[in-house]
Structure 1
Amino acid sequence: MVRPPLPALDGRIDTFDLTVSTAVDFLCSVWPELRDVRVEVAAMPSIDDPDGMPRWYVDAAHHRIVLFRVPIERLLVPGHDDLAHRRIAIESAVFRAAAEYTGREPWDLGPHGFHDH
């Protein structure tokens, strides 16, 4: 007997995880110092931050970045909460967290930066 095919990854959590994974794979291919970093996804932060709702947490001492799915997805600007904007927000959070980890600007993390030549 053959089992039926698995359903496509089309849920919000699956899409979030796939977008994070793709962005992390790209960054690791360009920046070797990110290859040993463990990137995790959690639903919500477990700490209170007086500056607002954190979207990620960087623990450089333990080579770890934690992205918080709910704040990244839910704190989008009204009218910009469609699939494309959600993906941009997720990728932006990955790049900004990686930039914080490496001490660089997010715009410098592309293979040649995102500067005009």
Structure 2
Amino acid sequence: MRHFALAGLGRRAYGSFGDVVAETCQFLREEWPEELGKLSWRILDAPRQVIEGKLPRWHADTKNLRITIYRLPIQRLTHVRRPDSQDERFHTEQFVFFAAGELLGKDPWDLMPDRFKD
């Protein structure tokens, strides 16, 4: 069973930030093997620079098929305190989807498998 919570499949509410990012990336690799089968990712504390007055939450490197997720902006600057660990997990996963969507030029919600859509 996958640990992907956004689709309601999570076995546990929240692991470490790195675990959630890795599990979500692995889910995307398995669901989109042709497009994301070679996806790589990394987690950095923060980006090196502010872009257009904003601190990025992710970077999509299309040349190398790699996403970078910035932990501190996601955990500390994007939201108010989350009510529970499951919500915290959803919050982290959404940024992985945003990054993967940008990488592929797709709406992040288009990356959800049809079996999980209403």
- Normalized against structure 2, the TM-score is what? 0.78
1:62 is aligned to 2:64? yes
Cα offset, 1:88, TM superposition:
1.2
Q: Which runs of 4+ in 1 moved over 4 A?
A: none
Report the structure number with the largest CA radius of gyration. 1
Deviations 1:63-82 (A, max 9, x none): 21100001111124324264
Give the Cα separation in 1 of the matches to 2:111 and 2:69: 18
Q: CA RMSD in A?
A: 2.0
Deviations 1:93-117 (A, max 9, x none): 001100111111111111217543x
- Normalized against structure 1, the TM-score is what? 0.78
Cα contact 1:42–1:67 (8 A) shared by 2: yes
Q: For structure 2, which runs of at least 5 residues remain unmatched after alignment?
A: 1-13
Q: How many residues align?
A: 104
Identical residues among aligned pairs (%): 35
Q: For structure 1, which runs of at least 5 residues remain unmatched after alignment?
A: 1-11
Cα contact 1:108–1:114 (8 A) shared by 2: no
